Amino acid sequence: MKYIPFLVLLLISILITSAMLLKKDDNNIQNYIIGTKISEFELPSLYEKDDKFNSKIFHSNGWKVLNVFASWCQQCKSEHKYLKKLSKIIPLYGIAYNDNPIKTKRFLDKMGNVYSSVGIDEHGNNAVLIGISGVPETYLIDGQGIIRFKYLGALDDKVLDDYIIPIIEEKKD
């Protein structure tokens, strides 16, 4: 009888620790937003020859990737080569978040433009509508405009191989 409280506390702590250790999910993967439709928004395009950058792009046929970046963001540089890799498989769309258009252009000239079209959200006015909390951020969106995957932070080989590429290949079948 004397030891029961001990045992109960021990059991609870073992349960909690094992739950923490067994948790495999990457914290940067945002599950709550999967399955919701992307909100309606309209942004000016970075390159004037393009049409307006709005949410209708994502309602037409085909899967697309939406990537949020900024020229002042260090991690966006490091994920650039993975975006290049991704752009060979699927069309990429970019949003320059909280960034001056001139600097964005310079950034893309320097790094190489991987996007089919780039929208500018210079003061972050549309960030909350879309669900942007910072840069970099990557969304995978299907032909109906439904978000199928969201990742916070810089992409790397692990994210591409474990999540994004399998999801894209699955829809082809």
Partner 1 sequence: MIILFLLLRRKKIKDTLKDIARDIRCLVCENQSILESDTDFAINIKNYILESLEKGLNRNEIIDFLSSRYGDFILLSPPVSKYTILLWVLPVIVFLFLLFIIINNKNNYLTKKETKQINIIKTDKKKFLVWSFLFSFLLVTAIYYNIGNWGMADYPQQKILYLDSKKNIDKLLYTARSWREIDEFESPRIVKINQQILSIDKNNVEANWFMAIHNLEIGNIDQAYKYYNSLINSINDLETKKVLVEQWKDLLNSKK
Residue 67 burial (CB count, 10 A): 24
Cα–Cα distance for residue pair 169/107, rounded to 1 Å: 31
Q: Is 30 in the site for partner 1 (CB under 8 A)?
A: yes
Nearer to partner 1, 4 or 20 (CB): 4
Cα–Cα distance for residue pair 172/167, rounded to 1 Å: 9
Q: Is 35 in the site for partner 1 (CB under 8 A)?
A: no
**Pick from 52, 78, 110, 124: which binds partner 1 (CB under 8 A)?**
124
Tell me which residue of 22, 104, 32, 117 sits closest to 67, measured CA to CA: 117
Site string for partner 1, 138-167 (x = CB under 8 A): ------------------------------
Segment near partner 1 (CB under 8 A); pick from 42-50, 51-59, 66-74, 161-169:
66-74
Q: Is 74 in the site for partner 1 (CB under 8 A)?
A: yes
**Pick from 103, 157, 161, 162: which binds partner 1 (CB under 8 A)?**
103
Q: Looking at residue 119, what DSSP letter applies?
A: E
Nearer to partner 1, 8 or 14 (CB): 8
Q: Which two tokens stand for residue 3?
A: 């030891």
Of all helices (H) and strands (E), which one includes residue 117? strand 117-121
Cα–Cα distance for residue pair 65/149, rounded to 1 Å: 9
Segment near partner 1 (CB under 8 A); pick from 53-61, 68-76, 153-161, 164-172:
68-76
| Sign of the torsion formed by the C-alpha atoms of 163, 126, 42 and 145 | positive
Q: Which residues of the shown chain bind partner 1 in the complex (CB under 8 A)?
A: 1-2, 4-5, 8, 12, 30-33, 36, 39, 71-74, 98-100, 102-103, 124-125, 127-131, 133-134
